[in-house]
Structure 1
Amino acid sequence: MRLLLALLLVLVPAALPAQEGLPPAPYAYRQLDDPRLEAQARELMATLRCLTCQSQSIADSDASMAGDMRHQVRSRLAAGERPEEIRAWLIGRYGDYISYQPAIGATTWPLFAVPALLLVGAALVIGRRLRRDRGKGLA
C-alpha cells in the first residue's frame, strides 16, 4: 500500500505538466482564410468564457484550454456549422457556465429571478419605513 502511494506521489505530478507541453491546436492562434468566417468566429469567441481563467473570454485568454476551444470554433465554422450550433455544442459539453449570455432554463432561472426578488423586497422595506416615518412625523 505504501509503495502504491509513493508511486502515485511520484507519477501524478510528473503527468500534469505533460498536458501543457502539447503543441497548440492548429486554429488556436491562426485565423481562418475567409474574413467573413473569421469575423463570425471572433464574435462567437467573445461570448464564450474560458474555463481555466473564468474571467476572460476564449478570444482573450492565453490558456491552452481556450486555445483548444478557439480551434474548435474555427474548425467547426470552416466545416459549415452555424455559430448557434457551435454554441449549443459547447454548452452541451461544458455547461451553461461557458456562456456569457446564458439562456433562461431550469438551471439558470435563479440568476435572473433572485436579483429581481431582492429589488422588490428592498422596495417593500423602504416603502414601509417611509410610511412609518411619515406617520411618526405627523403625530
Structure 2
Amino acid sequence: MMRRVGMLLVMLMLTGAAFAVAVDEKPLDDPAMEATARELMKDIRCLVCQNQSIEDSNADLARDLRQVVRERIAKGDSADDVRAYLVARYGDWVLLEPPVKPRTYFLWASPFLFLALVLIALARRRRAGPPAPLSAEEEAELKHILADEESEK
C-alpha cells in the first residue's frame, strides 16, 4: 500500500513539470499572447530532436526558437507571420506538419505508397498458395534433427 502511495506521489510531482516553463525563459506578460505563442510552439519542430515540438524539447536550439517565437508575438506578428518567418529561415522542415505542395508530395504520399506495396506483397503471397509438402528425404532429415535435439535434453 505504501509503495502505491509513493508511486502516486512521484507521478503527481512529475506532472507539474509538463506544464512548467524552463527556468531561464520568461513568459510573455500578456496571457493571451503567451497562449498564442505556446500554441504555435506545438506546431514547430525541434531541429535537434526532430520529432518533438519546440515546446516539448529541452534542447538549446528549441529554447532559442521559443524565445524567437515569443519575441515575434510580442512585436505584434500573427501566428502565420511567425510560421512564415521560421519557414523562410529553416524551410518547411521546421513545421511538424509540412504543407502539401509539389516539394512535399512524396512525403504526404509515402504512407499510401507503403500500404500499396504491402497489399501487393500480400496478394502475391496468397497467389503462391501453401508451401509444398516435405519430400521423404526432408521428412527423414527432420526426424533425425528432432531426435538429436531430444537426446541432448
Q: Please report how far the alpha carbon of residue 34 of structure 1 lies from its aligned counterpart in structure 2 after TM superposition.
A: 1.2
- Quick one: distance in 2 between partners of 1:48 and 1:113? 22
Confirm or deny that 1:107 pairs with 2:103: yes
Using the size of structure 2 for normalisation, the TM-score is 0.61
Q: Please report how far the alpha carbon of residue 52 of structure 1 lies from its aligned counterpart in structure 2 after TM superposition.
A: 2.5
Alignment length, in residue pairs? 108
Percent identity, please.
44
Larger radius of gyration between Structure 1 and Structure 2:
2
Aligned to 1:40: 36
Mapping of 1:16-35 within 5 angstroms? 29-35=25-31
- Quick one: distance in 2 between partners of 1:52 and 1:117? 28
Mapping of 1:1-139 within 5 angstroms? 29-133=25-129
| Deviations, residues 74-127 of structure 1 (Å, cap 9, x unaligned) | 111111111011111101110111111111123222112122112123223323
Q: 1:125 to 1:102 in 2, by over 3 A?
A: same
- Quick one: distance in 2 between partners of 1:55 and 1:109? 20
Moved segments of 4+, more than 4 Å? none
Q: Please report how far the alpha carbon of residue 132 of structure 1 lies from its aligned counterpart in structure 2 after TM superposition.
A: 5.0
Root-mean-square deviation (Å): 2.2
Using the size of structure 1 for normalisation, the TM-score is 0.66
Q: Secondary structure at the match of 1:108?
A: helix
Q: Secondary structure at the match of 1:42?
A: helix
Higher relative contact order (CA 8 A, sep 6+): 1
Please tell me the residue identity of whatever aligns with 1:101: E
Q: Structure 2 unaligned segments of length 5 or more: list them.
A: 1-23, 131-153
Q: Comparing 92-101 with 47-56, which one deviates more in the overlay?
A: 47-56
- Quick one: distance in 2 between partners of 1:45 and 1:73? 7
- Quick one: distance in 1 between partners of 2:125 and 2:57? 48
Q: 1:48 to 1:133 in 2, by over 3 A?
A: same
Q: 1:60 to 1:125 in 2, by over 3 A?
A: closer
